[in-house]
């Protein structure tokens, strides 16, 4: 699965913002990668206060991205090229510009219009205190007050009011939205904040800060993350999706344990739920081994598989994460530094190795646009260009997620490196010219070539079985067998011997010999024995 962030993939009309026309023009490229499907981040009508996760109309396309006809054409052209298309659904909250919220603002406290959201009176003598002490994921309080005294809940930005999923009208509306897109031929849905829909409506205080960005902490009976009431809702969606042939749903559920994650993967719920374990893990072989072992074993016991993720539009890109000393808080490092601790070359090598390893694992793998180029975080974006609401809501203490959302470099020159004719909505680091698609197309040893080779072998040979068998190796080496292929990744600091009888079929390091060699630190190979 390849994640397309529409705002930053390709700009077809030259306004500096990526769009549907841009994606359509790049379908041949997507097909050339050998991926099975794309996931498109929200493309609905939106003020783009949170990159489109603030939806004003779930049945319309944002004008900056294109039209509903363009979306339909994209779906059919991608399908014709052998690529399935899944779209994002954002059920936890709408935009403040959604007609329901506009109506709620105009209505009285206690009205039916307000009951589609979470409006509550405040605490304290004059109601001046928010109903609970919950903090927003983006920073600051998760309640905002209206002039009439009512407060409304927003787990994210104040422009993203949370919907009330106890209200049958909300449930019916989302079934209808899913149906609308199923009828338009989408192959499935990525469900945003799947672990957040249901709130404890006795409105208890938490007396502690929300964990950083989206993560459910391990508190039992958490007032807004991962509540059991979510699952009956999912079952309703699944019953609808099952009425259509060959469609799927993947959950974005940041939950504290595999046991909790497994609940989302029950046969009548999601087909996939992201495993975010690698995202939160340093370059540490014992942690990698633990994650792979636990996740593959646990998901197998429930008849499911793991959905692996190293990167997405919410996290610092992994060539940068892996170039920082273990233990660095990379979200804070973006702003606070010190920036000279970054070893970009080391991070690039490790990230490529990790991708090769990821593509050998059983289960599904999600790549984020630019992963195939080894694109690092644009960590030094000037403050003036920041767009992520996290920057303002955190009182300028967190730089936010713009650095992983910088437009793709398609060519090695031109004002936006081939992204489009206009000035890109975020500036691209000039050195990205050297790692553009164009530069890599000309190089058989590029990261792009490695991904194509690995994806082709994966499709031919690996997906036939979900079995992983560990191969005896030094503790700093991750080595496992997947039938015809053995994957070896050296996470240590010295070279290790590879089996003498092995032929190397793909390598993350272009200098790697094709057989009987040793494996350098921070590199990975696929072998045939």
Q: Which residue is nearest to ligand NOJ (CB)?
A: 53
- Joined tokens for residue 207: 């007396």
In the set 2, 5, 53, 419, which binds ligand NOJ (CB under 6 A)?
Answer: 53
Minimum distance, C-beta of residue 25 to ligand NOJ, in the bound complex (Å) = 25
Distance CA 455, CA 524 (A): 15
According to DSSP, the residues that pair with 519 across neighbouring strands are 496
Distance CA 500, CA 228 (A): 52
Minimum distance, C-beta of residue 101 to ligand NOJ, in the bound complex (Å) = 15
> By C-beta, is 93 or 289 nearer to ligand NOJ?
93
- Looking only at residues 239 through 268 of this chain, which bind ligand NOJ when binding is defined by CB under 6 A? 252
> By C-beta, is 279 or 502 nearer to ligand NOJ?
279
Cα angle, residue 221 at apex, residues 121 and 196 outer, rounded to 5°: 65
What is the biggest distance separating any 2 CA atoms in the chain, rounded to whole angstroms? Answer: 79
User: From residue 307, how far is each of 100, 110, 501 by CA, in Å?
Assistant: 34, 42, 32
Minimum distance, C-beta of residue 253 to ligand NOJ, in the bound complex (Å) = 11
Nearest to 225 by CA among 278, 162, 304, 279: 162
In the set 21, 193, 361, 485, which binds ligand NOJ (CB under 6 A)?
Answer: 193
* Sequence-distant (≥ 6) Cβ neighbours of residue 191 within 8 angstroms: 88, 89, 91, 237, 249, 250, 251, 252, 270
Minimum distance, C-beta of residue 518 to ligand NOJ, in the bound complex (Å) = 40
Nearest to 62 by CA among 4, 17, 96, 9: 17
- Note whether 178 binds ligand NOJ by CB under 6 A: no
Asked if residues 55 and 66 have their Cβ atoms less than 8 Å apart, the reply is no
Minimum distance, C-beta of residue 222 to ligand NOJ, in the bound complex (Å) = 17
Minimum distance, C-beta of residue 314 to ligand NOJ, in the bound complex (Å) = 5
Minimum distance, C-beta of residue 196 to ligand NOJ, in the bound complex (Å) = 8
CA gyration radius, the chain:
23
> By C-beta, is 5 or 480 nearer to ligand NOJ?
5
- Looking only at residues 104 through 143 of this chain, which bind ligand NOJ when binding is defined by CB under 6 A? none
DSSP of 306-330: -EEES--TTS--HHHHTTSPTT--H
Minimum distance, C-beta of residue 192 to ligand NOJ, in the bound complex (Å) = 5
- In degrees rounded to 5, what are phi and psi of residue 307? -110, 100
* Sequence-distant (≥ 6) Cβ neighbours of residue 432 within 8 angstroms: 375, 409, 417
In the set 19, 192, 377, 402, which binds ligand NOJ (CB under 6 A)?
Answer: 192
> By C-beta, is 386 or 437 nearer to ligand NOJ?
386
Q: Positive or negative CA dihedral for 445, 446, 447, 449?
A: negative
Minimum distance, C-beta of residue 274 to ligand NOJ, in the bound complex (Å) = 10
Minimum distance, C-beta of residue 53 to ligand NOJ, in the bound complex (Å) = 3
In the set 187, 314, 377, 387, which binds ligand NOJ (CB under 6 A)?
Answer: 314
State the number of binding residues for ligand NOJ (CB under 6 A).
9
Angle between helices 447-457 and 344-360 (to 10 degrees): 10
> By C-beta, is 138 or 288 nearer to ligand NOJ?
138
In the set 5, 7, 34, 50, which binds ligand NOJ (CB under 6 A)?
Answer: 50
> By C-beta, is 398 or 482 nearer to ligand NOJ?
398
> By C-beta, is 177 or 450 nearer to ligand NOJ?
177
Asked if residues 402 and 315 have their Cβ atoms less than 8 Å apart, the reply is no
DSSP of 453-479: HHHHHIIIIITT----EE----TTEEE
- Looking only at residues 457 through 486 of this chain, which bind ligand NOJ when binding is defined by CB under 6 A? none
- Looking only at residues 369 through 428 of this chain, which bind ligand NOJ when binding is defined by CB under 6 A? none
User: From residue 68, how far is each of 30, 59, 62, 96, 306 by CA, in Å?
Assistant: 21, 8, 9, 22, 33
Minimum distance, C-beta of residue 156 to ligand NOJ, in the bound complex (Å) = 5
Asked if residues 18 and 8 have their Cβ atoms less than 8 Å apart, the reply is yes
In the set 156, 165, 225, 283, which binds ligand NOJ (CB under 6 A)?
Answer: 156
> By C-beta, is 187 or 314 nearer to ligand NOJ?
314
Minimum distance, C-beta of residue 375 to ligand NOJ, in the bound complex (Å) = 18
> By C-beta, is 252 or 371 nearer to ligand NOJ?
252
- Give the x-and-dash track for 272-311 against ligand NOJ (CB under 6 A): ----------------------------------------
Distance CA 406, CA 404 (A): 6
Instruction: Note the residues at the interface with ligand NOJ (CB under 6 A).
Output: 50, 53, 90, 156, 192-193, 252, 313-314
């Amino acid at each position: 699965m390849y994640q397309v962030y529409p705002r930053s993939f390709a700009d077809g009309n030259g306004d500096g913002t990526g769009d549907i026309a841009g994606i359509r023009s790049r379908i041949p490229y997507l097909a050339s990668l050998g991926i099975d499907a794309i996931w498109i981040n929200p493309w609905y009508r939106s003020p783009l206060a949170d990159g489109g996760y603030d939806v004003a109309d779930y049945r319309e396309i944002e004008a900056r991205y294109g039209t509903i006809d363009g979306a339909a054409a994209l779906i059919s052209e991608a399908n014709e090229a052998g690529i399935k298309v899944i779209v994002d659904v954002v059920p936890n909250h709408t935009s403040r510009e959604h007609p329901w919220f506009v109506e709620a603002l105009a209505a009285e406290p206690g009205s039916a219009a307000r009951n589609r959201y979470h409006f509550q009176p405040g605490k304290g003598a004059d109601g001046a205190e928010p109903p609970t002490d919950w903090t927003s994921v983006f920073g600051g309080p998760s309640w905002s007050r209206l002039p009439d005294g009512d407060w409304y809940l927003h787990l994210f930005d104040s422009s993203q009011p949370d919907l009330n999923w106890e209200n049958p009208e909300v449930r019916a509306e989302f079934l209808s939205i899913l149906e609308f897109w199923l009828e338009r031929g989408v192959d499935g849905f990525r469900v945003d904040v799947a672990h957040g829909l249901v709130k404890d409506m006795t409105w208890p205080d938490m007396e502690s800060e929300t964990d950083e960005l989206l993560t459910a902490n391990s508190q039992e009976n958490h007032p807004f993350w991962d509540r059991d009431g979510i699952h009956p809702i999912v079952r309703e969606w699944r019953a609808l999706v099952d009425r259509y042939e060959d469609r799927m749903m993947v959950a974005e559920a940041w939950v504290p344990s595999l046991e909790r994650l497994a609940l989302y993967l029950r046969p009548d719920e999601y087909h996939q739920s992201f495993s975010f374990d690698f995202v939160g893990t340093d370059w540490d072989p014992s942690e990698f081994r633990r994650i792979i072992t636990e996740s593959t074993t646990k998901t197998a016991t429930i008849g499911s598989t793991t959905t692996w993720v190293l990167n997405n539009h919410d996290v610092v890109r992994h060539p940068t994460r892996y170039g920082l000393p273990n233990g660095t808080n990379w979200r804070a490092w973006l702003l606070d530094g010190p920036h000279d601790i970054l070893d970009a070359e080391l991070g690039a090598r490790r990230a490529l190795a990790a991708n090769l390893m990821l593509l050998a694992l059983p289960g599904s793998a999600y790549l984020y646009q630019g992963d195939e180029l080894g694109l690092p975080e644009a960590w030094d974006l000037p403050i003036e260009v920041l767009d992520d609401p996290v920057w303002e809501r955190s009182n300028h203490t967190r730089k936010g997620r713009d650095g992983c959302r910088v437009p793709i470099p398609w060519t090695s020159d031109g004002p936006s490196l081939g992204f489009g004719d206009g000035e890109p909505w975020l500036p691209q680091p000039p050195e990205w010219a050297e790692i553009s698609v164009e530069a890599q197309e000309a190089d058989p040893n590029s990261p792009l070539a490695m991904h194509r080779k690995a994806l082709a072998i994966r499709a031919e040979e690996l997906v036939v079985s979900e079995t992983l068998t560990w191969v005896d190796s030094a503790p700093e080496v991750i080595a496992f067998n997947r039938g015809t292929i053995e994957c070896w990744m050296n996470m240590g600091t010295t070279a290790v011997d590879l089996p003498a009888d092995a032929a190397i079929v793909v390598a993350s390091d272009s200098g790697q010999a094709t057989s009987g060699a040793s494996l350098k630190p921070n590199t990975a190979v696929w072998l045939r024995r």
